[in-house]
Amino acid sequence: MCGIIGYVGGREAYPILVKGLHRLEYRGYDSAGVALCNSIGELNIYKAKGRVSDLEDFCKSKDTVGTMGIAHTRWATHGEPSNVNAHPHYSESENLALIHNGIIENYAVLKEQLLQKGYHFQSSTDTEVLVQLIEYVKELNHVDLCTAIQLALGQVVGAYAIAVIEKGNPDMMIAARKSSPLVLGIGRDEFFIASDASPIIEYTNRVIFLEDEEIAIVRRHEQPKIVTIGNVEKTREIIQLEMSLGQLEKGGYPHFMLKEIFEQPRTLRDCMRGRVNVECNNVVLSGIIDNKERFVNAKRIIILACGTSWHAGLIGEYLFEEFCRIPVEVEYSSEFRYRNPLIYPDDVVIAVSQSGETADTLAAIELAKESGAFVYGICNVVGASIPRNTHSGSYTHVGPEIGVASTKAFTAQLLVLSMMALCIAREKKTLDEKRFLKLLIELDAIPAKIESILGNNDLIQNLSNTFTYAHNFIYLGRGYNYPVALEGALKLKEISYIHAEGYPAAEMKHGPIALIDSEMPVVAIATDNGMYEKVISNIQEIKARNGRVIAVVSENDTVVKGIADYVIEVPVTEDCFDPLLTTIPLQLLSYHIAVNKRRDVDMPRNLAKSVTVE
């Protein structure tokens, strides 16, 4: 949801900023812009509708000199994607330039007040209101830029990560955040601010994660100073990040999404490392062990998430109820936060999020904490807001996921939820030891089984050619594979723009079956598990109505192979771990269909990876 980056140091800022925007482009990609301040304090802003590469083309003939600058890649909220709505925005006098990620909720009231004071607005954005307000407050009170930002932000309702630079002041950049992420990078006599560490890591791994309502004053040749909006000085720990540059590159794959699909055997091994120990018959998640009383005594688990992470949560429900015998509710964070939910102090709330920045999930966490519940985070991005705002948690450890459609983060979320369920079951003694060991051995074998599924990539690519021009898809699954059907449909929608719906297979007859005809492809997950016979009946119902069935089946299958039009095989596993395998062919199918349709797989239209607005 918009990416921001800023630089002050000894090098030319423009190449650093543009490279950084490319790394942040997953956050938004409808327009981009840059503001540069040269050594005599001249300020230039360049903006272009479209991708960062369009901005680069536009800037080819421009003066991009300057060792300080800020830049932005946008995901439109207020005002269509256009040159004028792109950031940075100037203040009335053009003395200030500002970039913003977030939403100023009371922008309309503030804008009206500023219009009455004679201010003019070029864009339809909420952001331009903020830069005008800062200038207005600065002039009215005859204060310096930092004080003006403090005063202006005091009037703002909403979410923001901002960076501001000033004409005539080539040595200072000011950044602030509330509810939108902001990282400060500390290099050798050079400083960076960005929405996440990906554009910074090439230059330094020393970062500070700013907290809500904090402002960083970054001056050339000085250590950055951090103050709050209320002007209290803060000392923040510098963190050494372990991210590597290679994790941010495509590594020979045509798309990040394909790279991330193929990384899954390794990412799942990384996620299990030091946690699953088959020799000792043990699963150790320190976040669970350190808080085992909370989990053992939990009367209920509430899982909160959005998008793909919510699908992982649904599978978590099956896992916790089966292994730990704890009742589970799974909710969209966006619904939970506004419906006055009942939350008790002996509830355990699990927030699942790849980015750790999803605004609705963060707000839902606050609500749960206020009610005294214990809140556990499952997150991929180290140091993100969710791990910092939860009582405890587990990282998924899959490295940066750059493709907007989540793949490797999803399977790692399933793995963490599986390990959590096993760990809690051991503490609660709700699983007998033999079964526990069997499950553990099976979990350990999952990465190798995924490797064998990836070996079917060519077959799935061929299959995708047959379905590239379908207009609709239905995905069916039961039991543990029902959420996989939802996720398979979502993946296809996200990157190919084909309409797709996921259903529990038995629900077909309550409506969706009316859609079945010879034009309708139905992806049925029919692996050899407890629901096998039932799903076969559901497939028969589709075939009886001329539907075209693509079935995901177990390697030992004989029955479905005789009924379905096409089959994709996966190895046999325990029912509860089936999603870790059945998800993989659905990821590949979506990917190849989207490539056939020449979609922008890594940056599908209208989407953003990190949804920092509600």
Residues labelled catalytic: 2, 609
Q: For 290, which DSSP code?
A: T
Segment 269 to 328, residues that bind ligand G6P, using CB under 6 A: 306-309
- Per-residue x/- mask for ligand G6P, residues 325 to 364, rule CB under 6 A? ----------------------------xxx--x--x---
> Phi/psi class of residue 405: alpha, beta or left (left: φ > 0; alpha: ψ in -120 to 50)?
beta
Placement of tokens 């040749």 in the chain? 221
Please, what is the minimum distance in Å from the beta carbon of residue 531 to ligand G6P?
26
Please, what is the minimum distance in Å from the beta carbon of residue 524 to ligand G6P?
24
Select the residue whose beta carbon is closest to ligand G6P and give its number. Answer: 307
Residue 244 neighbours by CB distance under 10 Å: 12
Please, what is the minimum distance in Å from the beta carbon of residue 371 to ligand G6P?
21
Please, what is the minimum distance in Å from the beta carbon of residue 175 to ligand G6P?
22
Q: Of 334 and 573, which CB lies nearer to ligand G6P in the complex structure?
A: 334
Q: Of 549 and 594, which CB lies nearer to ligand G6P in the complex structure?
A: 594
Residue 184: name the closest of 229, 216, 162 by CA.
Answer: 216
Q: 127-141 and 107-116 helices cross at what angle (nearest 10)?
A: 50
Segment 82 to 101, residues that bind ligand G6P, using CB under 6 A: none
Segment 166 to 195, residues that bind ligand G6P, using CB under 6 A: none
Residue 411 interacts with ligand G6P (CB under 6 A)?
Answer: no
Binds ligand G6P (CB under 6 A): choice among 4, 304, 367, 404: 404
Q: Of 48 and 368, which CB lies nearer to ligand G6P in the complex structure?
A: 368
CA atoms within 13 A on the CB side of 61: 1
Strand pairing class (68-74; 282-283): unpaired
Please, what is the minimum distance in Å from the beta carbon of residue 240 to ligand G6P?
24
- Per-residue x/- mask for ligand G6P, residues 595 to 614, rule CB under 6 A? ------------x-x-x---
Q: For 93, which DSSP code?
A: T
Only segment of 125-133, 262-270, 401-409, 434-442 that touches ligand G6P (CB under 6 A): 401-409
Q: What is the largest CA-CA distance in the chain?
A: 81
Q: Of 305 and 516, which CB lies nearer to ligand G6P in the complex structure?
A: 305
Q: Of 33 and 502, which CB lies nearer to ligand G6P in the complex structure?
A: 502
Q: For 246, which DSSP code?
A: G
The Cα-based distances of 123 to 51, 70, 78, 348, 533 in angstroms read 19, 19, 9, 45, 59
Residue 107: name the closest of 61, 157, 62 by CA.
Answer: 157
Please, what is the minimum distance in Å from the beta carbon of residue 382 to ligand G6P?
14
Only segment of 313-321, 338-346, 404-412, 514-522 that touches ligand G6P (CB under 6 A): 404-412
Judge whether 609 and 500 are in contact, CB under 8 Å. no
Q: Of 167 and 609, which CB lies nearer to ligand G6P in the complex structure?
A: 609
10 Å CB burial of residue 65 (0-12, 13-18, 19+) is middle
Q: Of 353 and 389, which CB lies nearer to ligand G6P in the complex structure?
A: 353
Q: Of 283 and 315, which CB lies nearer to ligand G6P in the complex structure?
A: 315
- Sequence length of the chain is 614
Binds ligand G6P (CB under 6 A): choice among 179, 406, 464, 529: 406
- Token pair of 322, please? 């089966």
- Token pair of 133, please? 């307000």
Judge whether 585 and 11 are in contact, CB under 8 Å. no
The dihedral over CA atoms of 386, 390, 396, 398, expressed in degrees to the nearest 10, equals 30
Segment 434 to 493, residues that bind ligand G6P, using CB under 6 A: none
Query: At residue 109, what are phi and psi to the nearest 5 degrees?
Result: -65, -45
Strand pairing class (521-526; 499-504): unpaired
Q: In what order do the strands lie in the sheet with 183-186?
A: 43-49, 31-37, 68-74, 3-8, 191-194, 183-186, 206-209, 239-240
Q: Of 445 and 607, which CB lies nearer to ligand G6P in the complex structure?
A: 607
Q: Of 83 and 392, which CB lies nearer to ligand G6P in the complex structure?
A: 392
Please, what is the minimum distance in Å from the beta carbon of residue 361 to ligand G6P?
5
Only segment of 39-47, 188-196, 400-408, 501-509 that touches ligand G6P (CB under 6 A): 400-408
Please, what is the minimum distance in Å from the beta carbon of residue 435 to ligand G6P?
31
Judge whether 347 and 299 are in contact, CB under 8 Å. yes
Please, what is the minimum distance in Å from the beta carbon of residue 438 to ligand G6P?
31
Q: Is 500 helix (H, G, I), strand (E, B) or coil?
A: strand
CA distance 357 to 343: 22
Judge whether 536 and 511 are in contact, CB under 8 Å. no
Number of residues that bind ligand G6P (CB under 6 A): 15
10 Å CB burial of residue 427 (0-12, 13-18, 19+) is middle
Please, what is the minimum distance in Å from the beta carbon of residue 188 to ligand G6P?
32
CA distance 479 to 484: 10
Segment 359 to 398, residues that bind ligand G6P, using CB under 6 A: 361
- Token pair of 385, please? 């807001």
CA atoms within 13 A on the CB side of 594: 28
Binding site for ligand G6P (CB under 6 A): 306-309, 353-355, 358, 361, 404-406, 607, 609, 611
